[in-house]
Amino acid sequence: AQSVTQLDSQVPVFEEAPVELRCNYSSSVSVYLFWYVQYPNQGLQLLLKYLSGSTLVESINGFEAEFNKSQTSFHLRKPSVHISDTAEYFCAVNNAGGTSYGKLTFGQGTILTVHP
Amino acid sequence: DADVTQTPRNRITKTGKRIMLECSQTKGHDRMYWYRQDPGLGLRLIYYSFDVKDINKGEISDGYSVSRQAQAKFSLSLESAIPNQTALYFCATSSASSGNTIYFGEGSWLTVV
């Protein structure tokens, strides 16, 4: 079985400040890792993903996440946030093999609120 | 137009009624999923289908059923709706060629009163 824990349910931050949204996972097999973003009243959009290769992955809007296998973490960071980054962020894990292949398990979500 | 389309987008129904949520996709993906979202619980998998003849229960399938009418269509039914099934429901798709990335529809708000 696999599980995902997002350590903060809400993260308030001021505009242009750095932010880190924390995600830890557990799995008995190799994993693929994802961050999805849900803007108010919208569906989920893929923000970035780690499948293999470089452990640091980046999105087009300035977010990055680093896969840390020893700490089973995939924290999301941005050095300077904008008001438009206000949204709920979901970390998710997908087993790279085994019976859970192809199914995403989600964390509980972190609501990021950026204040002016 | 959206690649993954859900209908209806919003529905209020009464306890005990049967309700169907429909999903269609134009991405050509073979895998389809139904998730429900509840505040503080993230998204939980209800059912998934890896091809037309393959249907599998997810972690919270009780009270739900599904039908994969074609590769592009996957519907979710609540045979006898109850208030704790009030939630936001998402259909999603993926394929091996999508790099295991799952693509979501815009969601269907269901309220059971």
* pLDDT (tens digit per residue) in B72-101: 999 999 999 999 999 999 999 988 776 678
Min distance B43 CA to chain A CA atoms (Å): 6
pLDDT of residue A104: 85
Using an 8 Å Cβ cutoff, are B108 and B35 in contact?
no
For residue range B19-47, list pLDDT tens digits in order: 999 999 999 999 999 999 998 888 999 99
User: Touching check for A30 and chain B: CB below 8 Å?
Assistant: no
Six token digits for residue A97: 């093999």
Summarize the confidence of residues A15-31 as an average pLDDT. 92
Per DSSP, B85 falls in state G
Q: What is the pLDDT of residue A97?
A: 62
Q: Which of A4, A44, A49 is the closest to B104 by Cβ?
A: A44
Answer whether A84's CB lies under 8 Å from A62's CB: no
The pLDDT of residue A51: 85
Q: Any CB–CB contact under 8 A between A29 and chain B?
A: no
Angle, alpha carbons A86-A88-A102 (nearest 5°)? 140
- Give the whole-angstrom CA distance, residue B74 versus residue B69: 6
With contacts defined as CB-CB under 8 Å, which chain B residues touch A9? 40
In the numeric block, the tokens 């108010």 are attached to A40
Q: Out of A42, A46, A90, name the one closest to residue B43 (CB).
A: A90
